[in-house]
Structures are given as C-alpha cells and as structure tokens.
Amino acid sequence: MPDAARLDSLAHSPEPLVPWYHVGVMWLFVGGLGVVVIGSFMLMATAWRNMDTVEPQAAVRVAVPNTPVSPAMQARNHAATLRP
C-alpha cells in the first residue's frame, strides 16, 4: 500500500497549464471548422457565378398526354378487370 506522503505529493502536483494554441487537437478542431466555412463560401460564389436563367412559365409548360396506354393506366385497368 502506498504511503500517505507519496499520495499527498501526487495530489498536489498540478500539471503545467499549456496555452490553447499549443494543443494540437485544438488546431485540428479550428482548422476543420475553417475549412468548412471557406468551402461553403467558395460553393456559394460558384453557385452565384453559374446561376441559371429563369424561363417564363409559358415556355416551360409542356403538356403530357394522359393516354390509356401508359404503364400506370394499364396496371390500374388490369387490376380493375373482373375474371370469370
């Protein structure tokens, strides 16, 4: 069993304090956040420079015929048929 004097000396010897900028994990954290922020600004700038033009609604509207030969209509009609 360790003696009381040794335990007392271990309990009262604090570790030396190191400034935050000397800790490597802190730089990993700050650097990671910095990369994300810089990357988001670069993405925003790219999106702003290569923006698509908005077409008028009349030019975009395309009529899709609802013919009974479409696969969804065939499946619906097949499920509704009665078998003798």
Please write the tens of the pLDDT for every residue from 46-80: 999 998 887 777 655 566 666 656 777 777 777 66
Answering whether pTM is above 0.75, one says: no
8 pLDDT higher than 90: no
Q: Count the helices and strands in the chain (H runs, E runs).
A: 4, 0
Listed in order, strand segments (DSSP E) in the chain are none
Residue 77's CB is within 10 A of a number of other CB atoms, namely: 10
d(CA 34, CA 39): 8
Supply φ then ψ for residue 10, to 5 degrees.
-70, -35
d(CA 23, CA 25): 6
Type of residue numbered 64 = V
